Amino acid sequence: MSESEVVKVERYNGVSTIIMNRPHKRNAMSPELHVAMDSTLKELEKDNDTKVVVIRGAGGTFSAGQDLKEFFRAMEDKPAEAKHIQEIANRWRWERLYNYEKPTIAMVEGYCVGGAFMQLLATDFAIAADNATFSLSEVNWGILPGGLVGKVVADSVLYRHALYYACLGDAFDGKEAARVGFVNFSVPQDKLEAEVDKLAQKLMAKSPAVLTATKQAMRAVRTMDFGQAADYLYAKNAAIRANDPEQSYKTGMSQFLDKKTFRPVYEPFKLGTLLTDQSVKK
């Protein structure tokens, strides 16, 4: 695992927590941190022991966004270096996370500012502390929300909220972030870790193949018309049934219809039961 000083990984029972680790700079993202996040995410995606990835920051704060000194000022006279690091910064915070095979959760406490909205909104789920502080601060120090921040914000929440917070730069708390839709929900600070773990456990109880296909499909249909979406979803379901090692469809059907051992409205079917389950209809 390519851990570095600026990025740490903690593993526990299938959950790998990636920690942005520059607490003295409120986890502002330096070029070094971008490189380390990119390689860490890449490695965890193929790590068999990692079922869910959580992203958080050290020292009680998520991230104060791009490092204004190291990512901006130090790059002003180095266009080639700046382009290279911008590509890496966008890759891990967008392409990699957005298309990640495994479920991802952002755990937000302390500050979540500017460029940090990209990893916030590229993860599948986000839970914040009620007292976290969010801000699209760019307008306050002289740029617009660049990288892809403006795009992901405009795509993620209602247009009026996106415009309001991008143009005002006002700080808002975790409860407001949940109301507007930047995070799924917020909880008291002392319950944050437990709530993130609870969500991770729920995700790990699902069929991995079906969960991955579901999140890929929900993202993909956003930019399709109805005809394209119907066709794509039909094909995606066929692909799950053809390739799923759990044979989730047959197993789930059998456990509900034949064995009557679970009810889908309240819980997922029991994973890992197919091989001993002779009653699954072929």
Residues contributing to the site for ligand COA (CB under 6 A): 25-26, 28, 64-69, 111, 113-115, 137-138, 141
Q: Which is nearer to ligand COA, 65 or 103 (CB)?
A: 65
Q: Which is nearer to ligand COA, 131 or 212 (CB)?
A: 131
CA gap 154, 136 in Å, rounded: 12
Minimum CB distance to ligand COA, residue 252 (Å):
44
Answer for the pair 100, 94: CB distance below 8 angstroms, yes or no: no
Strands in 42-116 per DSSP E? 52-57, 104-108, 111-113
Q: Which is nearer to ligand COA, 137 or 255 (CB)?
A: 137
Q: Which is nearer to ligand COA, 150 or 181 (CB)?
A: 150
Q: Which is nearer to ligand COA, 67 or 195 (CB)?
A: 67
Answer for the pair 247, 280: CB distance below 8 angstroms, yes or no: yes
The pairing of strands 7-12 and 15-20 is: antiparallel
Minimum CB distance to ligand COA, residue 136 (Å):
9
Minimum CB distance to ligand COA, residue 244 (Å):
41
Q: Which is nearer to ligand COA, 137 or 254 (CB)?
A: 137
Answer for the pair 147, 89: CB distance below 8 angstroms, yes or no: yes
Minimum CB distance to ligand COA, residue 167 (Å):
15
Question: First vs last Cα of the chain: how many Å apart?
Answer: 41
CA gap 183, 73 in Å, rounded: 31
CA gap 153, 114 in Å, rounded: 10
Minimum CB distance to ligand COA, residue 8 (Å):
18
Minimum CB distance to ligand COA, residue 228 (Å):
35
> Strands across the sheet with 133-135, in order?
111-113, 133-135, 172-173
